Amino acid sequence: MSKRKGVYAAKVKRATHMLFFRRHQKPGVKGWELHKTLGADYPKVLDVLDDYLKNLDLQVKTVFEEEKTPAAKPTLEEYDKARFYVTLRGDLTPKEAKMIGWRIDDLAGLAVAISYIISKKGQAQRKDVEDLLCEKLPGWKVGLNIERYIRYGYLNQDDNAQLYLDWRTRAEVDQKALIDMLLNAEKQSTLPVASSKEGEEEEFDETGKESEED
């Protein structure tokens, strides 16, 4: 192995450690942290890592500051301000979603809340979102669910009870695709989803996730 390759292999390894293992309260790593540890060529290191992860159906996701994805090739300064995550490259089946800790109702509620907020130019009254969710979910659960979405970082709420999309939605959800697909929803066949009968115990280890978040 050439010296250069060896250096890159070591940097990829270091980047993997930084990206996979949670270092702060929120997951992900800031560009400047990678810059400091890996050097100025860290975007290249991340490209190499991203290539490795392809086979595992994972990817290195870059979330630029204030969602301003640069039109041309991002500058090092823009990368330094961005946040990097490792996310799933493809998509989950409903069964898998359940396995990682989401009930179908909760996931549907999240999808509704996110798409409604997007349609309202990124902010909506909590009351409006609750009313919408109450049409299909029991009222007692709606409030709890919204609190959970906020706690996980999907939504954010200000003092005026306005809901916004938060960092996790920006990192995990392809917003444009979500809206496009939702509008074309009737054209696609209903996806096979594990049924969720009322009262059926299909909770995953919510306690585990809760304690981890808190």
Partner 1 sequence: MQSVKNAKLGREKLQRIIEMCMAIEAHAVDPFMLDVDDIIKVTKEYFPEWEKPEDLNLDAETIHHLASVIKLQSEWVKHRSTSLYTDPFLLEEKITQTPKEDMVGVFLRTWHPIVELEQISVHSLAEALRYWETLLPLSERWKELAPDEIGTGFATRDELIKQRVLGDKLFSEELEKFWLELKETVEKKGHEGKMRYWDFVGAETYEDTVQRAFLTSFLITYGYATLEIHPLEELTFIKPFEKPQTRIRTEQAVSVPIAVTYDDWQKWRRGEMD
* 191 counts as binding partner 1 under rule CB under 8 A: yes
CB of 79 to partner 1, least distance (A): 19
* 157 counts as binding partner 1 under rule CB under 8 A: no
And the tokens for 105?
A: 């109702």
* 48 counts as binding partner 1 under rule CB under 8 A: no
Using CB under 8 A, which of 33, 78, 166, 172 touches partner 1?
A: 172
3-state secondary structure of 27: coil
Q: Which residue has the tokens 């306690």?
A: 207
Of 5-13, 38-46, 177-185, 199-207, the window that binds partner 1 (rule: CB under 8 A) is 177-185
* 198 counts as binding partner 1 under rule CB under 8 A: no
* 171 counts as binding partner 1 under rule CB under 8 A: yes
Class of residue 96 by CB neighbours under 10 A (exposed 0-12, middle 13-18, buried 19+): exposed
* 150 counts as binding partner 1 under rule CB under 8 A: no
* 12 counts as binding partner 1 under rule CB under 8 A: no
Using CA atoms, how far apart are residues 26 and 28, in angstroms rounded to an integer?
7
* 112 counts as binding partner 1 under rule CB under 8 A: yes
* 97 counts as binding partner 1 under rule CB under 8 A: yes
Residues 74-93, one symbol each (x = binds partner 1 by CB under 8 A, - = not), give -----------xxxxxxxxx
CB of 116 to partner 1, least distance (A): 6
Using CA atoms, how far apart are residues 43 and 62, in angstroms rounded to an integer?
10
CB of 69 to partner 1, least distance (A): 12
Using CB under 8 A, which of 5, 73, 176, 197 touches partner 1?
A: 176
The residue (of 86 and 146) whose beta carbon lies closer to partner 1 is 86
How far from 203 is each of 94, 134, 199, CA to CA, in Å? 14, 20, 10
| DSSP element (H, E) containing 84 | strand 83-88
| DSSP element (H, E) containing 59 | strand 58-63
Q: Read off φ and ψ for residue 81, nearest 5 degrees.
A: -85, -15
* 132 counts as binding partner 1 under rule CB under 8 A: yes
Using CA atoms, how far apart are residues 2 and 93, in angstroms rounded to an integer?
42
